[in-house]
């Protein structure tokens, strides 16, 4: 649905986006992640035909942003970083205006206005001046205008900025709901948001692509190997951690065993392995040695750690894996 190839955007002095390539499939939610000044907004502005790229290409639904901007614009709903509101208009009038701009009219327009005001919970401020709305409500109206024409592609620049926790959850649910028919690309600094809403993450830093992958793969990839946490307890007496450690290290494929903590005769280990799937071997080794296996789970590194690691200065960029071919 979205194809970006070697996209570069140069401002007078800075290179805001530096040879970025990625693809997004139809119906996917993609999180665009990066620290301040990474180039997220710039990339989104290029995708929405607000800015032309300096070099490289971007296509949305098969249409090039430079060659056929009208076709692209018809198919995109865009929520910029600051919601583009006319402060002297009332919410309802504003949505009507945007709807008309996007080519809606008549009963269709009325229906869509009703739908989006309900969907984004702005029905109660329909007759209020936009200038008098709170930040969160402005953000919601911004989201409402982005989806008013039921676009194929939604580009949301920090959609949950300034919302209260309840509204953040509702917005996330809304975004997840909208995926499926819509392809969504959203930018954020908030990592849990990506973990909860997105299937795929694109991480950029200082204009360069750092990684693009699914959330789960990224977590694994950042570690460079599979890693599991297991807790072992003694049957009768307390376990001797060093004995368990030695035992575990003998299993083929295990590269590193660390005893993380020890409590009331139980011990928790983190085991890293090179080989793909060693959890069965680990379990058998523990039980065969006469210990109890209390817990065995993949240790999920939080995306936050992944993110910091990936955008950290000393870490080399990870080679990006090609994403699935889009429809």
Partner 1 sequence: MRNIWIICRKELGSYFVSPVAYILLTMFGLIFGYFFWNALAAFLVESIQMQMRGQSFPMNLNEWIIRPLLANVSVVNLFFVPLITMRLFAEEKRNGTIELLATSPIRDGEIIFGKWLAALLLYVCLLLFTAANFAFLFRYGNPDWKPLLVGYLGLLLQAGALLAIGTFISTTTKNQIIAGAVTFGVCLLLFVFGWVSGYDTSTWAQVLSYLSIATHSESFYRGVIDSKDAIYYVTVIFLGLFFTARSMESLRWRS
Ligand X SMILES: Nc1ncnc2c1ncn2[C@@H]1O[C@H](COP(=O)(O)OP(=O)(O)OP(=O)(O)O)[C@@H](O)[C@H]1O
**In the complex, which residues of this chain contact partner 1 (CB under 8 A)?**
11-12, 45, 48-52, 70, 73-74, 76, 78, 80-89, 93, 97-98, 100-103, 145
Nearest one of 49, 190, 41 to 171, comparing CA atoms: 190
Buried b (16+ CB within 10 A) or exposed e, 264-274: eebbbbebbbe
Query: Is 80 or 326 the residue whose CB approaches partner 1 more closely?
Result: 80
Nearest one of 158, 155, 156 to 188, comparing CA atoms: 158
Among positions 75-134, residues that touch ligand X (CB under 6 A) are 81
Candidates 41, 91, 188, 227: give the one binding Mg ion (CB under 5 A).
Answer: 41
CA distance 243 to 175: 50
Q: Minimum Å distance from CB 163 to partner 1?
A: 18
DSSP conformation letters of 3-42? EEEEEEEE-SS-EEEEEEEEEE-TT-EEEEE--TTSSHHH
Q: Minimum Å distance from CB 157 to ligand X?
A: 7
**Considering CB distances under 5 to 8 angstroms, the limit depending on partner class, which of Mg ion, partner 1, ligand X, none binds residue 320?**
none
DSSP conformation letters of 32-94? EE--TTSSHHHHHHHHTTSS--SEEEEEETTEETTT-HHHHHHHEEEE-SS----TTSBHHHH
Name the residue with the smallest CB distance to Mg ion: 41
Are 23 and 58 within 8 A, CB to CB? Answer: no
Query: Is 10 or 74 the residue whose CB approaches ligand X more closely?
Result: 10
Q: Minimum Å distance from CB 97 to partner 1?
A: 6
Q: Which of 10-18, 228-236, 268-276, 300-308 is the region at the interface with ligand X (rule: CB under 6 A)?
A: 10-18
Using rule CB under 6 A, residue 42 touches ligand X: yes
Query: Is 269 or 307 the residue whose CB approaches ligand X more closely?
Result: 307
CB hemisphere CA count around 16 (13 angstroms): 19
Query: Is 14 or 214 the residue whose CB approaches ligand X more closely?
Result: 14
Q: Minimum Å distance from CB 125 to partner 1?
A: 17
Using rule CB under 6 A, residue 11 touches ligand X: yes
Are 269 and 230 within 8 A, CB to CB? Answer: yes
Q: Minimum Å distance from CB 48 to ligand X?
A: 13
Query: Is 89 or 251 the residue whose CB approaches partner 1 more closely?
Result: 89
Strands 153-157 and 183-188: parallel
Q: Minimum Å distance from CB 111 to partner 1?
A: 19
Are 195 and 203 within 8 A, CB to CB? Answer: no
Nearest one of 107, 112, 7 to 53, comparing CA atoms: 7
User: x/- string (CB under 6 A) for ligand X, residues 12-41?
Assistant: --x-x-----------------x-xxxxxx
- Structure token digits, residue 124: 């109660």
**Considering CB distances under 5 to 8 angstroms, the limit depending on partner class, which of Mg ion, partner 1, ligand X, none binds residue 48?**
partner 1
Query: Is 18 or 226 the residue whose CB approaches ligand X more closely?
Result: 18
**Of all residues in the chain, what percent are helix, strand and coil, respectively (each to 5)?**
35, 30, 35
Residues contacting Mg ion: total by CB under 5 A: 2
- Where on the chain is the footprint of Mg ion (CB under 5 A)? 40-41
- Where on the chain is the footprint of ligand X (CB under 6 A)? 11, 14, 16, 34, 36-42, 81
């Amino acid at each position: 649905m979205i194809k970006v190839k070697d996209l570069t955007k140069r401002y007078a002095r800075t290179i805001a986006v530096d040879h970025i390539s990625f693809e997004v499939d139809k119906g996917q939610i993609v999180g665009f992640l990066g620290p301040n000044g990474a180039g997220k907004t710039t990339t989104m502005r290029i995708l929405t035909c607000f800015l032309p790229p300096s070099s490289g290409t971007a296509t949305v639904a098969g249409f090039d942003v430079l060659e056929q901007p009208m076709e692209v614009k018809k198919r995109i709903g865009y929520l910029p970083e600051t919601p583009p509101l006319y402060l002297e208009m009332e919410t309802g009038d504003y949505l009507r205006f945007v709807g008309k701009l996007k080519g809606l009219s008549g009963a269709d327009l009325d229906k869509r206005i009703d739908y989006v005001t309900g969907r984004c919970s702005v029905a109660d401020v329909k007759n209020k001046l936009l200038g008098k709305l709170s930040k969160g409500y402005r953000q919601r109206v911004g989201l409402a205008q982005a989806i008013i024409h039921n676009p194929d592609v939604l580009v949301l620049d920090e959609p949950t900025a300034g919302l209260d926790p309840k509204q953040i959850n509702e917005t996330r649910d809304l975004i997840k709901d909208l995926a499926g028919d819509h392809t969504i690309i959203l930018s954020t600094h908030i990592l849990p948001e990506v973990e909860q809403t997105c299937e795929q993450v694109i991480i950029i830093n200082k204009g360069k692509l750092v990684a693009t992958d699914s959330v789960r793969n990224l977590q694994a990839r950042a570690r460079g190997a599979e890693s599991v946490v297991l807790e072992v307890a003694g049957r009768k007496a307390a376990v001797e951690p060093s004995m368990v450690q030695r035992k575990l290290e003998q299993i083929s494929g295990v590269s590193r065993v660390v005893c993380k903590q020890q409590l009331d005769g139980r011990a928790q280990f983190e085991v890293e392995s090179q080989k793909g799937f060693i959890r069965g071997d680990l379990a058998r080794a523990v039980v065969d040695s006469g210990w109890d296996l209390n817990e065995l789970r993949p240790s999920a590194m939080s995306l936050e750690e992944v993110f910091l690691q990936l955008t950290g200065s000393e870490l080399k960029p990870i080679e990006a894996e090609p994403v699935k071919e889009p429809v």
